[in-house]
Amino acid sequence: MIKLIVGLGNPGSQYKKTRHNAGFLVLDRLDSSFSGSWRLESRFNSEVSEVYVSGCKVLLQKPLTFMNKSGDAVVKLAQYYKISPDEILVVHDELDFDSGVARLKKGGGHAGHNGLRDIIQKIGSRDFYRLRIGIGRPSQGKDVANYVLSAATASELSDIQDIADRVEALLPEIVKGDIVRLMTEFNSRDK
């Protein structure tokens, strides 16, 4: 069962619609769709919302620690609510997938993603679920940091919203923990 969904991104209006904030964008959609209400929780260095999905309470978290320190916020909230790594779903941008492609998976490495690297280090486990949202790679010779921190195009934002639609539709099943079966269904529906 998923009890915590973490969206990765950077705080501040200058990052709001950047590629690196795909996780925040999806969580904003889930918060709205499931009648949540973001509140600042300084003890967790996060914005947190509580939603109910098919009668199950799920916490949504947007760490306000900047991407490379996301683990600090995640571990504080997970420890406080006694949430184990296998009850966590992290939603994040993925350079290795084209825009519009998303994949659910459990475990694995960080593949150079600083937010994942910090979460793995701080919670001491790789055994959490991930929703990887494709943002594509910059063209040869372009700086990756500038690319991920640049504003997403209208087409890329539309792709992220399409993925958010899919997550919203499947969230009751995701929350109830049938993720292994859903991986096949979700992962095969890319555009």
Which are the catalytic amino acids? 20
The C-alpha atoms of residue 163 and residue 166 are separated, in whole angstroms, by 5
Alpha carbon of residue 165 to chain centroid: 14
Burial class for 140, CB neighbours closer than 10 Å (0-12, 13-18, 19+): exposed
Half-sphere exposure in the Cβ direction for 45 (13 Å, CA): 16
Which structure tokens are listed for 9? 């991104």
Cβ 87 vs Cβ 3: under 8 Å: yes
